Amino acid sequence: MKKVIFLSFAAISLFSTFCHAQKLSEAKVPAAVKSAQERKFPGITKITWSKEENDFESEFTLNGKTMSAIYDPNGNWIETETAITVTALPQPILKYISQHMAGMRIKEAARVDKADGSIAYEAETGNTDYVFDATGKLLKTEKD
């Protein structure tokens, strides 16, 4: 039984490695990106870096909240994602979920602040992220 559990865990880990961003050592992150991170979130010292396509993502904790920020290779901030509880999603989104996604379990939720000043919200179920605006309008779905 232990062997089956170990093999299952190994397969899941391998699969998630291919589905998620590529982890990077800090040495491989451009100086402009690291500098932008320090300006946007001063004093954060424990950062995990990864690369998503051409952009760089920092993952960190600030004031007890799990966060990530995305920058382009020139250090331009694109967005910040902050984990929130599912119940902290705006009421229109919760209403949409109850009406259109009944029976689906929301595993994680986040607020996404974008460089253009807009705010979006994500609700993750299984291998799909549902992205909403604050009015509850479904903007897009993203498969992992």
The pLDDT of residue 13 is: 33
Task: Domain of residue 126: give its range.
Answer: 23-143
Position 131 in a domain: yes
What CATH number has the domain bearing residue 77? Answer: 3.10.450.360
Q: Which pLDDT score, from 0 to 100, does residue 8 have? A: 31
In a domain, 138, yes or no: yes
**93 in a domain, yes or no?**
yes
Per-residue confidence in pLDDT tens, the chain, 144 aa: 433 333 233 233 333 333 456 898 889 999 999 999 999 999 998 999 999 899 999 999 999 999 999 999 999 999 999 999 999 999 999 999 999 988 889 999 999 999 999 999 999 998 899 999 989 999 999 987
User: Does 57 fall in a domain?
Assistant: yes
Q: Is residue 3 domain-resident?
A: no
Which SS3 state, helix, strand or coil, does residue 28 take?
helix
Q: Give the pLDDT confidence score for residue 89 in this predicted structure.
A: 96
Q: Is residue 17 part of a domain?
A: no
- Assigned domain for 37 exists: yes
At 10 the pLDDT is 29
Number of domains making up the chain: 1
